[in-house]
Amino acid sequence: MEQRNMQDLELKSLPHIRLILLLICVQFIVQTNQVINGQSAADRFDITYVKIDVVTRLGQNFMIFGWENDADCKYEIYRGSSISPTHWEKIAELPPLDDPRRSYFLPIQRDRSAHFVYIKKIEDVGGGEGSPTTEAPMTIPELELEMMPIPAGKFVMGSPAGEKDRDDDEGPQTTVTISKPFWLGKTEVTQAQWKAVMGSDPSYWKGNYLPVERVTWFDAMAFCEKLNQMKSDTLFAGYRYTLPTEAQWEYACRAGTSTRFHYGDDPDYSQLEKYAWYAGNCPSKTHTVAARTPNDWGLHDMHGNVWEWCLDWFGDYTGGSVSDPLGPSNGQDRVIRGGGWNFRADYSRSAYRNYYWTDAPYDSLGFRIALSPVHVE
């Protein structure tokens, strides 16, 4: 009888022993840089280690993780069959969190080949030392590219049902919060600026101060990545050069307005030529950037000249209220905004939406860059 009780006790203790062993393994992983092929895991994967305080198994398919969380940081959770992260699989992603100590339920499929769980802090996303504190414009001197400050705020994205020349995909209107300030190029990226970063000029219409065009979405993103490398020592913590999201683009275009254009409703388009190059005043080619009147936030050519790539996949609006939307998680085409030199006036409205193939160039399609908080999907 006494021996049976001891066996029962050993069986009941077995899960706790496994838990302790798992905790020891995980703490060993996150506190030690394993050298792989002459490089540490941190060197190979840009890893910052986070100490895990608690790991608790719930049944067979769930675990709770708890740790001291750095404010405004993003984390990824991996699992693998060994301490080498080379073959680890990402199983979850956690956004920035306000509470510095919390526990998180994570679904983990039971897999006897995956013995290790690992937390990777991949980036700061604002709030730390070096975060932007000014509302002044900034300049990239190597490119003579001025970036205009866009404040955090809230706006209604899309158009009301009664707006003239409205398309159905401009609704349902959605209340959007832009939670952090960002900067947006005062103009579309010019051919001179493109050549300074990328070396060659793909544009059909040639001219240093004309907007670069015939760039695909991938080309525009490659420009941003090269710029991040060039300016890595001066970037604000948690900010990177990238394309604006569709929400950021419309928010910046409107500049606090809710009218068809950033300067008013203009029902007969009689004022548009002061602000935009479009088919009504420019049927033949692109024009020098900043030659038309800017909006109230100092941005030129948000209406017309060339269409501008956005970060998002094209998809339906959600309606309701959202914060910092990133659009659908996948799709076939990316959003383009703003209208172009060879398109009708109504295509230049603040709410007008369009889309294009990500790998297709076009001589009426360019982009402007954003210095934006790191996007968390």
For residue 107, with 0-12 CB atoms within 10 Å meaning exposed, 13-18 middle and 19 or more buried, which class applies?
A: exposed
Task: Specify the range with the lowest mean pLDDT, choosing from 92-96, 213-217, 265-269, 338-342.
Answer: 92-96
Confidence of residue 124 (pLDDT cuts 50, 70, 90): very low
- pLDDT given at position 225: 95
pLDDT in tens, 183-233: 999 999 999 999 999 999 999 999 999 999 999 999 999 999 999 999 998
Is the pLDDT at 157 greater than 50? The verdict is yes
Provide the residue ranges of all domains of the chain, joining segments of one domain with +: 2-124, 138-373
Confidence of residue 52 (pLDDT cuts 50, 70, 90): very low
Burial call 221-253: b when 16+ CB within 10 Å, e when fewer: bebbeebeeeeeeeebbbbbbbbbbbbbbbbbb
pLDDT in tens, 235-284: 888 899 999 999 999 999 999 999 999 999 999 999 999 999 999 998 78
| Percent of the residues in the chain that have a pLDDT greater than 90, as a whole number | 60
The CATH homologous superfamily for domain 138-373 is paralog of FGE (formylglycine-generating enzyme) (3.90.1580.10)
For residue 377, with 0-12 CB atoms within 10 Å meaning exposed, 13-18 middle and 19 or more buried, which class applies?
A: exposed
In 3D space, the residue among 48, 19, 44 whose CA is nearest the CA of residue 31 turns out to be 48
The arithmetic mean of pLDDT across residues 288-306, rounded, is: 97
* Amino acid at site 30: V
Task: Specify the range with the lowest mean pLDDT, choosing from 2-6, 16-20, 347-351, 363-367.
Answer: 2-6
Total number of residues shown for the chain: 377
In 3D space, the residue among 217, 212, 241 whose CA is nearest the CA of residue 229 turns out to be 241
* DSSP 3-state of 276: coil
Distance (Å, rounded) from C-alpha 174 to C-alpha 159? Answer: 9
In 3D space, the residue among 251, 241, 245 whose CA is nearest the CA of residue 369 turns out to be 241
Q: Give me the CATH code for the 2-124 domain, please.
A: 2.60.40
**Cβ contact 337:356 at 8 Å:** no
